[in-house]
Amino acid sequence: MAEIYINNLNQIIGKEEQKAKDTKLNSAIQIIRFFIDDFEFALDIMDVKEIKENETIRHLPNSLPFVKGLLNLRGDIIPVLDLKKRLELENLTLNELANLAKEHDFGKVKEQKDEKNISKKEETGEDENVKPSIIICRVGSDNFGIVVDRIVRVQYLSVDEYEPTPMLFENIGKNFIKGFAKLDKKVIVILSLQNLFF
């Protein structure tokens, strides 16, 4: 069932990527939403190649703290990065970002815990054999994976739902914020992979 779901997501990513190219949607963006622990983030779909599950990650000794290991992707060896550890290095959490966004009127953020947004660990219990989802990304000619706990969905943002990064945030976290998605009475941080890992 999980494999069918991931295959469907990958098909959506491919179709929406082509649609964006064909129609040249410059006024807003397509995003993929995902959870890391209880925090929800998003990526521009143009930064995403595909989604993989149940893949074996080979540990890489003496690497940077946020490097999870290596993945064999159809013969290509790519690094897999731990987004959770990378964001912790920036000393900035989604809650702090949301509070800043709230102060600058990017939409009201209502703190609520939706039963559908329970983390994987809460749903299944602790299980060391459960392998995370890996979003395969590309920045320029570089491919790499990022580990996430749960994929939410792929969706298009209207102009009203997307807020580009204000100047206020340019010096926060090395400018790893690409923008904000204002959805479901909350603010979701859209990450800039270019500035986060390169």
> Are 45 and 16 a contacting pair, CB within 8 Å?
yes
51: closest CA among 138, 136, 131, 120? 136
Digit-coded pLDDT (tens) for 3-58: 666 667 777 667 666 665 554 445 568 999 999 888 899 999 999 999 998 788 89
Strand order in the sheet with 150-156: 150-156, 30-36, 39-44, 186-191, 177-183, 162-164
In this structure, which topology does domain 2-113+129-197 adopt according to CATH? OB fold (Dihydrolipoamide Acetyltransferase, E2P) (2.40.50)
Give me 27's structure tokens. Answer: 């006024």
- pTM (2 d.p.): 0.66
Q: Is the torsion defined by CA of 60, 85, 174, 136 positive or negative?
A: positive
Render pLDDT for 114-163 as a digit per residue (tens, 0 to 9): 444 444 444 434 444 456 799 999 998 899 999 998 999 999 998 889 98
Q: For 98-118, what is each residue's pLDDT tens digit? A: 565 555 555 444 344 344 444
Per-residue pLDDT tens over the stretch 53-99: 878 889 888 888 889 899 999 989 999 998 888 877 445 555 666 56
Provide the pLDDT for residue 195.
78
Domain map (residue ranges) of the chain = 2-113+129-197
Residues in the chain: 198
